[in-house]
Amino acid sequence: MNVVNQSTVKHKRGLLNLGEELGNVSQACKMIGVSRDTFYRYQEAKASGSVEALLQKDRKRPNIKNRVDEVIEQAVLAYAVEQPAHGQVRVSNELRKCNDPVKTCTC
């Protein structure tokens, strides 16, 4: 378990322990600075599993559909380095004129 996950689990356990000690979930959440919904999610995760249930999980997954081909990306970068003052519309139009994004366009 890496340092980030250890810190996350320690924070979540601390919140759950504070809620038990105080006997008041609302007050514990205010002291820690989280919502009651978050407290109950942590409590449910702890009840359903072990320490792994409290680990930090990344929700965001990369959307590969939004990526362009590597060749096109390199052509745009090369043109942008050559002509830094040109905007995105002009770069698009100039590269479209070249018809072959593989070659570096010197239009």
Structure confidence by residue, pLDDT tens digits, 59-84:
667 677 778 888 888 888 899 899 99
- Is 70 exceeded by the pLDDT of residue 28? yes
Q: Which whole number is the average pLDDT over 25-50?
A: 85
Q: Which whole number is the average pLDDT over 10-32?
A: 87
| Two structure tokens written together for 63 | 């959307």
pLDDT value for 14? 85
Q: Which whole number is the average pLDDT over 3-23?
A: 80
Distance in angstroms (rounded) separating the CA atoms of residues 86 and 69: 22
- The structural domains of the chain, with segments of one domain joined by +, span 3-54, 66-98
- Is 90 exceeded by the pLDDT of residue 85? yes
| Two structure tokens written together for 74 | 């390199």
Q: Is 101 left (phi over 0), alpha (psi -120 to 50) or beta?
A: alpha
Judging by beta carbons within 10 Å of its beta carbon (0-12, 13-18, 19+), is residue 20 exposed, middle or buried?
A: exposed
